Amino acid sequence: MTNKLSRDSIRDGDVYRMLKEQEHVTNIRPLTEAEREVLLDRFLEDAPAGPVWVFGYGSLIWNPAFRHTASRTARVFGYHRSFCIKTPLGRGSPDYPGLVLALDAGGSCNGVAFRLPAKNMREELSVVWAREMAIAGSYRAVWVRAQTAKGPINAVTFAINRASDRYTGKLSEDELVERLGTASGYLGTCAEYLENTVSHMRELKIRDAHMFRLQRLVREARSRKSD
């Protein structure tokens, strides 16, 4: 399997197959395509009028893996970016789970909004859906009103389900640095995930002091271990 998610690999079912192959060790059952489609249909019943955007705050910033017609930096309120979801596969293992980003309640978050093509909106959204909603109960898809330099837009984004057993709550800085600096899986290391996210945030002038501090601390910790 490729070590980078792409539109083709997601559409071909790579995410589902990877999760299914490891179900016996992770006890995580992936949703079938039919189950995901039912959930997506229900979610779209509440879609606001007008163009549909997807708000990215982590790996979607640097690897959206879906077709879009425009992108803008954007800010949402009521949620903040947090390494609060543990992963036993993509960037971790069952024995040593890694951490990936989710939106958690409170504060605000700067990221990137991608406009889906009007004619193929559902097709492209289904790609994001297969990627983010492959496991029942981890993320919650939500509609948000994102603020951009060109005005407010309606966007889909993915917040943590606090009832999920993958939700870590607020971890100490020391544990964040340890996990992000050492965990790895078939998609690569958590350190690479952090580096890619922060470097693209800097390029787009997206500020997040906590993320920038984590990047520095993880770099320092990994440098000490390599000496």
How far apart are the C-alpha atoms of 174 and 166, rounded to whole Å? 19
Q: What is the CA radius of gyration of the chain?
A: 17
161-177 CB burial, b ≥16 within 10 A, e <16: beebebbbeebeeeebb
Q: β-strand 53-56 against 151-160: which pairing, if any?
A: parallel
Beta bridge partners of 113: 55, 72
Which entry of 132, 175, 195, 203 is annotated as an active-site residue?
Answer: 132
How far apart are the C-alpha atoms of 178 and 183, rounded to whole Å? 8
Active site residue 132: yes
Q: Could you tell me the end-to-end alpha-carbon distance of the chain, in angstroms, rounded to an integer?
A: 32
How far apart are the C-alpha atoms of 111 and 73, rounded to whole Å? 6
Tokens coding 62: 């640097």
SS3 216: helix
82-119 CB burial, b ≥16 within 10 A, e <16: bbbbbbbbbbbbeeebbbbbbbbeeeebbbbbbbbeee
Which residues carry out catalysis? 132
